[in-house]
Amino acid sequence: MKNSATLRYLFALGLYGTIGLFLHFTSYSSEFVVLCRGFLGSVFILLVLLYRKEKFDYLSIRKNLFLLICSGFALGFNWVFLFAGYRHGIAISSLCNYLAPIIVVVITSLIYKEKINIYQIFCIIAAFVGMLFLIGIFDGQSNGDPYCVIYGLLAALGFVILVLCNRRLTDIKPLEKTFVQLLASAAIVFPYVLFNKGFPVSFDLRSTLIVIILGIFHTGVAYICYFSSIDTLSPQSIAVLGYLEPVLNVLIGALILNEKIGFSGIIGAIMIVGASLGNELYAGKK
């Protein structure tokens, strides 16, 4: 049972980790891809719920509706900037996005007065120094397009808001929560796509197929595999295996898309992943 859950979890991570690669071969705007991904993902999850004959708990959804809409906005915000960052460089954008757990620790300690210990302080400092290495400050050389860092950090901010909203959700099933969040993200991103003229002027078959794959497999299937596995796995396993995604992004960027990341960038990547992973492991034990 646990092996099956591990495989489902790894499969979901594999799908998440290849989003940037698929996005690289589309001609559609990032915001349009986000719109389609949210809509197609929510439709797929709805069909699965109907197939399973699972009844919606409308009372729980209504009770959490404000937070679900806010988290849907945060999810769309995260995707728009992360996908925009992927256009400039998958590896660095992904690593910047994975600073989110460290940012959550800082925010919760300031706003919610949660205690922060020496171990967590060390992780925060390591992640910050790793960020400086990643940017290339110490050797005076840039490791990539600066937009990767800007968009990646903005994506991380969206992910932080999503995490903080999810913390306050109560008595709602994971797939129901995800369905509403995906639908909300699509609804919120739609005016932005319309205003920003993000709709394609012309459609091509390859880009359309990629968008459909991202919506159904990298969103609907991935979320179902993810949520069906995390209840079985330990928090430590989830934390450790979860960081295979940014590692996969770095490898894809460097080996397949020939993205340049210097020696200082490699050091920064190790420090960021190590600090975030260490923080997650501490949270799991706690």
Q: Which pair of structure tokens corresponds to residue 26?
A: 């589309």
Alpha carbon dihedral 257, 263, 269, 270, in 10-degree steps, equals 130
- The amino acid present at 195, given as its one-letter code, is F
Which of 182, 149, 156, 153 lies closest to 76, judged by CA? 182
Cβ pair 57, 173 in contact under 8 A: yes
User: Residue 188: its pLDDT value, please?
Assistant: 94
For Cα atoms 223, 214, 280, give the angle at the middle one, nearest 5 degrees.
40
Cβ pair 230, 238 in contact under 8 A: yes
Domain ranges, residue 56: 2-285
What would the pLDDT profile of 234-284 be if each residue is shown by its tens digit? Answer: 777 787 788 888 888 888 988 898 887 778 888 888 888 888 888 877 766
Is pTM beyond 0.75? Reply is yes
Distance CA 173, CA 120 (A): 31
What would the pLDDT profile of 84-142 be if each residue is shown by its tens digit? Answer: 999 988 988 998 998 888 888 888 888 877 788 888 888 888 888 888 888 776 666 66
Q: Which residues contact 231 (CB under 8 A, 6 or more apart)?
A: 5
Q: How many folded domains does the chain comprise?
A: 1
Cβ pair 25, 206 in contact under 8 A: yes
